[in-house]
Structure formats: structure tokens, C-alpha cells
Amino acid sequence: MERQRYRVSCASTAEKGLRLARELKPDLVVLDIMLPGMDGLELLRVLRRESRVPVILLSARRGETDRILGLRLGADDYVTKPFSPGELQARIEGHLRRAAAAPGDDDEAGPLVVGKIAADFGRHEVLVKGRRVGLSPKEFELLKALVKANGRVLSRGRLREIVWGHGADVQIDTRTVDQHVARLRRKLGAACGGLETIRNYGYRMRR
């Protein structure tokens, strides 16, 4: 996955994985059921109490019982070992696409306020100090992705996938993302100070 320009973090135990999930707020979790200490299913229970992040379960167990239990606990997918890296990558990318395309429950919940920016995604309206700012559709979707990331860093490839619908394996000039970020900064002015560039990787909107 790192060769496809995804940022990957690994943990050898459920406890370490939970700490990473809370700290990094990942876009997707791949979780092995067989872990030392707390097992993967128990970790899944904890994750589901705290997050709706997509979770793919991995297991060498081929029985139906574990698969049904994992799905009932909230897993989005279940892959049995052995599996090919290509299959797992395809499943990961599919879940990321669906998560990016799914409308957020908070789209209709009124404006989200980040610093001096009030973004109402349900009404497609952005205000800076009470003044309406006109954004292009792509600029609006870019701002939406950054705000909804809740302070997480999004790579240029991930932003490209969310806003333009292109997978990370498609060779499209990442300067397109940079150019739209630059235009977004110009339009939002000083209120965009929370939009941070992560050198050689991507962007985040500090909350």
C-alpha cells in the first residue's frame, strides 16, 4: 500500500492499534482477529463505540461463525487467509471510495465552524466573518474533505481520490491539488491560516 502512496501505520497488538487509531484517526483499519492480549473482535467492539471508520477483518479461520460475528460487530468486510495482496488492495480501495462518496450525517446539521470559517455543507455555503465566499465545485469539495478530516493529514493522492474520483494508482499531476489549494487560500484569505501544508505529502486543516 505504501507503494501506492498510502500512509500506513502498523501495530503488533490490539492495545497499540487502539492507541494508534485514537491518535491518527485513520481512513481505514485492517484488523487481524488473532492478536496477543485483546483479540481483534474485542478491538472491533471498542472501535465501533468510538468511530465509524471502515474496518476489514483478516482471519485464518474459515468457519462461518467468526465471519458472522465480525460482521454483526460492525466490520465492513471479512477476508480469510491466505489471500493475494492484490485482492486486499482492491478491497481497501473499494471501501475508501465508498467512504469518500458517502454523504456525511452532519451535512444537514448546520455549519461547521473552523476558526473564522463557517462551512454549511448541506446548503453548499461558506462564510468568512459572515461574508459569503464563492467557491468552485472542486474548491468546495476540497474544503469539505479537509474540514471533515477533523485535523487528520490527507495526502495529495487521497484528496485527488475524494475530490476528483481518481484512485491513487492513476497518474494524474498532483499539482492539480496544489493549484486548487492555492486558489482556496486566496479566496478564504487570512481565515485560511489553519490550512497547513505537510511537505512532500499533503494537507490538513487544523481545528
- Nearest-angstrom CA–CA distance, 52 and 104: 11
With a threshold of 0.75, does the pTM exceed it? Answer: no
* pLDDT of 101: 60
Residue % of the chain over a pLDDT of 70: 90
pLDDT above 50 (res 199): yes
Could you give all domains of the chain from N- to C-terminal order, each with its CATH number?
2-101 (3.40.50.2300), 105-205 (1.10.10.10)
pLDDT above 80 (res 164): no
Which stretch, 82-86, 98-102, 156-160, has highest mean pLDDT? 82-86
Residues with Cβ within 8 Å of 189's Cβ and at least 6 positions away in sequence, in order, are 128
* pLDDT of 67: 81
Q: Greater confidence, 104 or 161? A: 161
What's the whole-number mean pLDDT along residues 36-40? 89
DSSP H helices in the chain = 14-24, 40-50, 64-72, 85-101, 137-148, 156-164, 175-188
pLDDT above 70 (res 171): no
DSSP H helices in 51-136 = 64-72, 85-101
* Sheet with strand 29-32: strands edge to edge: 29-32, 55-59, 77-80
Among 43-47, 53-57, 164-168, 197-201, the range scoring the smallest mean pLDDT is 164-168
Among 44-48, 110-114, 148-152, 169-173, the range scoring the smallest mean pLDDT is 169-173
Phi, psi of 128, deg, nearest 5? -120, 115
